[in-house]
Every structure is written in C-alpha cells, then in structure tokens.
Amino acid sequence: MILFENIINSFESIIAHKMRSSLSMLGIIIGVSSVIILTAMGAGSQQAVVEKIQSLGANTLTISAGGMGASNVYSKSSGNTSLTLDTIDSIKNEIDGLEGVLPIVSGNAQIIYGTNNSNASIMGITPEYFTLTNTKIETGINFSEKNITNLDKFAIVGVDIQEDIFAGENPVGKKIKMGGNIYEIIGIIEEKGGTTDSNIFIPLTTAQIRQFGKKTLSQVQVFVENSEEVDTIKTELENYLANLAGVSDTSESPYSIRSQADILERVSEITGTFTLLLSGIAGISLLVGGIGVMNIMLVSVTERTREIGIRKAIGASKKDILMQFLMESAVLSLLGGCIGIILSFVVVYVLNNYFNVASVIAYNSIILSFGFSLFIGIFFGLLPSYKAAKLKPIDALRFE
C-alpha cells in the first residue's frame, strides 16, 4: 500500500513540475534511444553483410595473395606469390571435386556518361561468373569467350549504376567512359542487394590489360561440388599453394584461403566489437542523464524541505522519506527510459523505410536499456533521498 502511494506521489510530483522533470528525463531519453538505435544499426549492418556472404554459397572458398600468410605472419616463400591465370589452370588440374574456379580482377574507376559521373567498383570476370554465383542478367546478354579473347570493351552494370548514371533508363547499347576507355553496356544484372548492385562487370582480360594494366588477379573464388568437402578441399588448396610458393609450412604461405564460415566469423567479430563500442559511447549519455536526475532531485529536496519536516513531525520515519524520494527518482528514470524506447522504434522505422539504412532492433538491447535506466534512477537517487531522510524535523520546519 505504501509502495503504491509512493508511486502515485511520484507521478503527482513529476506532473506538478513538468519542465524540471522533462529536463531531468532528457538525458535518460537520449541515452536509452541512442543505445537501442546504434545497436539496431550495428545488427542491421551485420545481417546485411551476412546475407551477402551467405548468398555466395556455403561451398565457396576465396583465395587471395599478399605478403601475409593465413596466420598473419610474414611470408617466407621463395616461389611464385601472385595469383595468375596459370595459378587457376594448375588448381583445376591438381584439385579434384571442384565445380568451378573464378578468376577476378577488381579496382575502382570514375564512370562518365554525358554530364553524369560517379565512382564505382569494377570487376573483371569470365562468363562463368554469373552462373556460379547465381547472379542473373535481367536485361541484355552475358560476355562470350570471344569477348575474353579479343579484350572487348563491353560492360554489364548493376541496378544502382542504372539509377545513378542513367536515371533509371535502360542503358543497354549506351556507352560509358571509365579511365580513358569507352565501354558499351550489353547487360543489366538483376537486383541482388549489397555491393553487387553498384558494381560494373567487364571481361577479365579487358580489365587486366586495358583497364588496370596488371596480369595478376585480385582474388580467386573456388566452388566445391559437395559442400561437405569444403574443409577437406580447403586443406588441399592450402598445402598445394604453399608448395607452389616454395614453403613447407602453410602458416608461412603468402596465400590466404577463407571459407564462408571463416568470413562470417570475422565479420561477426568486427561488427560485434563496433556495435559494442558505439553502445558504450551512447551509454555514457545515460550516466550523464543519471547525474541530471540526481541534480534535479537535490533541488527538489531543497524546495520541499518544509514538506519533509511536516511529514516527519506527524510520524513519517526516515525509511518513509527515503523510499518516497528514491521512488520518485526511479519513476523519473523509468519514464524517461520508456519514452526513449518509443523514440528508438520511431527512428529505426524512419531509417528502414525512408533512408534505406538497415536497422534491426535487438530486444535484449531494450531490456538492457530499460534495466539500466532503472539502475540509474535508483543509484543516482540515493544521495538526494538520503539527504532528505536525515533532515531533522525542527530544522526542516524552520527552513525558509
């Protein structure tokens, strides 16, 4: 009964001092909503990346070359340390159980069409790319082997390029300029989501010789026939490529081979750490909000000193006074937390539907934020409540 009365009294006090209560809740509202929104954006980004990686298939291995081995130690290789078309041929000949091997050359370039221009990712590929990656050409045609042989300057574009450069018009048959080369667009890929929609695809040899001037490959995607054999073939590839590079220990190989599981794990670690960092920064505003609640409650105790004296004079104990102000602080923080949660839902809805920013609210972040706001209210309400409880009735009644 006393608890219920304290809750009622708390709401009456908040309503009686609307401006003061609103200002004290502001920090809690911002803190709670920030934690939930930033967590939602982090979770949304992670989900988008995971879906993109999973779309490549569980049977995909990605090979890249560089100066670091799989165990992040500097390579001690004495043999070939770059990926070339010869590497592709040797993999096909030496490793069994492969559905296909895709050489890829990638880079960036400025695209110019008329007065429109934009920067885009360029990918040099072979005709098998679209079949093996389950990417459909919505309009137009695929590259041919003749295009690869002749170093033809043809391009297939993503839907984002169609929207940005051609204002949604059908670009097939039109020509764009990239890095001094003129390319004719022969196809548009079906919307797939992620970075694929903003890529421009050109024949592999055209990318190597005409566009980027390098014969080495950026990466190689290996497609395994049986997804259950991925780990086995990954080990075979690691041993084979290490031998090709002239090293006996795969940890010293200049080649890195990653399965989709490896990439997903790494992405989850990075996005998880980033989300945690952002949430921690947002959590600081909750602490600031707690200090604001404490300051307002201290002002409230000073203003209501005579009221405290009267209550004590008619029999209220220290515990009653302590609980009254502690409850008021907790209700103030919880109310701010509830408003912050509602605000976060509104912001996430706007981000998803109007700004195309992938955001997914995690309900554990709501529970955590709500619980933390309650803790903030109790913790920062202790000092004002204790100050009110220890007032002597005679001193409180004399207070002007």
169 vs 20, which has greater pLDDT?
Answer: 169
Condensed to tens digits (0 to 9), the pLDDT of residues 267-309 reads 778 888 888 888 788 888 888 888 888 988 898 888 888 888 8
Looking at residue 261, what is its pLDDT?
Answer: 78
The average confidence (pLDDT) of the chain is 87
* pLDDT score for 75: 41
Determine the Cα–Cα distance for residues 79 and 251; give it in Å rounded to an integer: 15
Percent of the chain with pLDDT strictly greater than 90: 47
Average of per-residue pLDDT across 228-234:
91
* pLDDT, position 171: 95
Mean pLDDT of 370-377: 89
3-state SS of 75-125?
CCCCCCCCCCHHHHHHHHHHCCCEEEEEEEEEEEEEEEECCEEEEEEEEEE
Q: Report the percentage of the chain scoring pLDDT > 70.
A: 94
Which pLDDT does position 66 carry in this prediction?
65
Q: What is the pLDDT of residue 250?
A: 85
Fill in the DSSP letter of residue 201: E
Q: Which residues of 196-205 are buried (b: 16+ CB within 10 A; e: fewer)?
A: bbbbbbbbbb
pLDDT value at 41 more than 80: yes
Close Cβ partners of 163 (under 8 Å, ≥ 6 residues apart): none
* Structure token pair of residue 52: 């993109």
Does the pLDDT at position 50 exceed 80?
Answer: no
Q: In the structure, what pLDDT confidence band is assigned to residue 69 with cuts at 50, 70 and 90?
A: very low
Mean pLDDT of 83-94: 92
CA distance 140 to 322: 76
pTM: 0.64
**Domain boundaries defined on the chain:** 2-52+266-398, 60-259
